[in-house]
Structure 1
Amino acid sequence: MPSPFFRKIQTLKLIPQHPSKTSALQLLSELKTQGFTVEIRQVQRDLNTLSQLFEIENDGNKDIPGWYWKKEAEKLELPQMELPVALSFQLSEHYLSKLYPHAVMQHLSPYFKLSQKLLSSMDSPLSTWSNKVKLISRNQPLIAPIISESVLNSAYIALLSDTLIHATYKAVLQEKKEYELAPKAMVVVDQVIYLVAENLASNNLQHFALHRFSQIKNTDKPIHQDKSFSLDDYMSEGNFEYLYTNNPTIQLKLLVTEKAAYHLDELKLSDDQTIVPFDDEFLVTATVKNTDQLRWWILSYGDYVEVLEPESLRDEFAETADILYHIYHHNN
């Protein structure tokens, strides 16, 4: 679709019905917002051309003509996808496809194709926007595990219909086990998709990695809705960070290098974090969740960070350091 033609279609859509009206300058601003590269004279020429083909006119004001659809003009059905909408579809396909049920992805597929076709044919700054913004992770790049399409579809169907499932699941280093589950939510953590569900055998909320299901069977049994469940609460409780429930919150004190302190000043561990100079290094204190995620993060800094408190955590790292020393020096 040539850009000038599409620009004229969008211009027609922006013109209000009488008695409301708009000016060429207002139309210019809205077209630029939609990503069109256009000048005021082009808009004025478009309006004059369109007024000969469609039931639009201006109020005759010689200084700033006001344009509108005639009061008796018949409703004109025009293509609905605008450039910002097309860009939204394109970014959604790139970054949110894991969050859509399979049936929804199939329904959206024509819109994804149309958005791609529209953006690739337009001479607009929005056409190349997706090449200028990217979402990445600082974690070690890992290949996403393969999930059976039937498992994924069944999980989404259960979530949409609020129905129970019968599932076969193999946890890490355990045998396969049968479960009856009441799905509550879906969470994507890096490359892994988790199903948050109530285990009916224990009445506990758990999360299950979808790629570890070998089978999910849908049922027509409705789920008893627990209005107290909140996915935000479930996540904030540290369930995806491997929380130490016997001591969920700790006062962390670290001795860090200048480089690590600079980084932590930009990306804080907590709202109450403090950083103060200490000899040639810096003391960092913060109230944090006591999780495996915290331990992995500290380990990633190597000798840039020393744990001072709590003493129990310092002892853990001393033991880990000792084990690593023996691993790397056992042949020396």
Structure 2
Amino acid sequence: MYDIDREIMRLLPDAGTQSGYLDTPEIYRRLLESVPDKPSRKTIHRRLVKLESDGLVEMEQRGVASTWRRKAGSRGMAAKAGSMMTFDEALALQTLKRFSSHQIPELVAESMSSMFEVAEERLQRTNSDNERRYARWATKVAVESGGFALNYPAVDRQLFAIVSRALFEERKLRIVYRPRYNANNDRSKIVLPLGLVEVGRLVYFVGGTEGKEEHTMYRMDRLAHAEAMLDSFDYPASFSLEDYVKQQRRFDFVVEKELLLKLRFVEGAGDHLLEAPLSKDQKINRKDAALLVQGTVMLSQRLRWWLRSFGPNVEVLEPSSLRAELAAEAKALARIYGD
């Protein structure tokens, strides 16, 4: 399949999940936004006719206009998987679909929707007790978040597709971003997409600005508009998303400085740190009924949120500044909840 055919197939609605069609002029317009070597409208129509003859797309005549969509299951591996997929493969795909509980896997999994459908059909065609056990497996496994469940805002799938594709192709993005303090903003800006990060079910993309070293985090659900430009950019060799997230701790929110944290846990509140240390240099001692823990961490809002979650079952011993800060909060809480 030619590259232009792949681009056309990517743009077309899928008959398995969508009822709409796109006419040739609209396909042409969308291709101009994403394909550097601009094909002619006649070339696109000729390729669509060829894809229809190959059984990959459907055409519906609406007046004088030809409209198109992708046949269900006609994309990628799914086109050949129906008769060859084993029960092991079908179970793996259905498990992946069910337990991809984060937003980014959910958003990218749309491109595999036809594979998931093939897997579901395969698991329904059981011919033995062993196959029936496979089919029941997904109902015997569950995943539950350890935190308090919140209803996080959903990310627009089309905007996510535009941003992720621009990130992949290293092309500039024109966006309209509406932060909490300016929810009606209509002014656009040009950013350089550098990475996608999911933090606690919120999806961010990290964007750079030409001429500036500092990078900015944009929440995907606050994007009002995104348009991939044909202009490419040189991905900065000096930028590492892993370093930005893991070392600079930019998603810990208001990162201040590195410090040696000493804590005293009671009532078993810190026992999970025996298996999941808070730092690489963590040290633990037991004293009477208390667990004493120390380690080098980054002071941040996220650290404060974590400490507050233990209530009276944790005491900050050091540093003295953080101890005083939490002590003042405890006094304020006592005033709120006092008689």
Which bin holds the TM-score, normalised by the shorter protein?
A: 0.5 to 0.7
2:87 aligned residue (71, 83, 86): 83
1:275 aligned residue (262, 284, 295): 284
Does the C-alpha gap of structure 1 residues 191 and 156 become closer, same or farther in structure 2, counting only changes over 3 Å? same
Partner SS, residue 192 of structure 2: strand
Does the C-alpha gap of structure 1 residues 100 and 306 become closer, same or farther in structure 2, counting only changes over 3 Å? closer
Measured after TM superposition, the shift of residue 200 of structure 1 is 3.2
CA distance in 2, matches of 1:139, 1:280: 26
CA distance in 1, matches of 2:103, 2:169: 18
CA distance in 1, matches of 2:167, 2:159: 12
The equivalences for 1:37-56 within 5 A come to: none
Partner SS, residue 128 of structure 1: helix
- Alignment partner, residue 188 of structure 2: 178
Does the C-alpha gap of structure 1 residues 227 and 125 become closer, same or farther in structure 2, counting only changes over 3 Å? farther
2:269 aligned residue (260, 264, 274): 260
Contact map agreement 1:167 1:215 (CA 8 A) in 2: yes
Does the C-alpha gap of structure 1 residues 133 and 199 become closer, same or farther in structure 2, counting only changes over 3 Å? farther
Identity %: 27
Contact map agreement 1:142 1:191 (CA 8 A) in 2: no
- Alignment partner, residue 42 of structure 1: none
CA distance in 2, matches of 1:264, 1:278: 16
The answer to whether structure 1 residue 152 and structure 2 residue 160 are counterparts is: yes
Unmatched tracts of structure 1, length 5 or more: 1-76
CA distance in 2, matches of 1:232, 1:126: 38
Measured after TM superposition, the shift of residue 170 of structure 1 is 2.1
Partner SS, residue 191 of structure 2: strand
Unmatched tracts of structure 2, length 5 or more: 1-80
- Alignment partner, residue 315 of structure 2: 306
2:104 aligned residue (99, 111, 121): 99
Contact map agreement 2:173 2:227 (CA 8 A) in 1: yes
The answer to whether structure 1 residue 241 and structure 2 residue 252 are counterparts is: yes
- Alignment partner, residue 236 of structure 2: 226
The answer to whether structure 1 residue 118 and structure 2 residue 114 are counterparts is: no
CA distance in 2, matches of 1:281, 1:189: 32
Does the C-alpha gap of structure 1 residues 203 and 286 become closer, same or farther in structure 2, counting only changes over 3 Å? closer
Contact map agreement 2:82 2:118 (CA 8 A) in 1: no
Give the TM-score of the pair, scaled to structure 1: 0.68
The aligned amino acid for 1:130 is: A
Give the TM-score of the pair, scaled to structure 2: 0.67
Measured after TM superposition, the shift of residue 231 of structure 1 is 2.1
CA distance in 2, matches of 1:300, 1:228: 37
- Alignment partner, residue 304 of structure 2: 295
1:169 aligned residue (169, 177, 182): 177
Partner SS, residue 127 of structure 1: helix
Q: CA RMSD in A?
A: 2.5
Contact map agreement 1:253 1:308 (CA 8 A) in 2: yes
CA distance in 1, matches of 2:136, 2:106: 28
Measured after TM superposition, the shift of residue 151 of structure 1 is 2.1
Q: Give the aligned length.
A: 251
Contact map agreement 1:188 1:194 (CA 8 A) in 2: yes
Does the C-alpha gap of structure 1 residues 197 and 134 become closer, same or farther in structure 2, counting only changes over 3 Å? farther
- Alignment partner, residue 222 of structure 2: 212
Partner SS, residue 251 of structure 2: coil
Contact map agreement 1:180 1:201 (CA 8 A) in 2: no
Partner SS, residue 229 of structure 1: coil
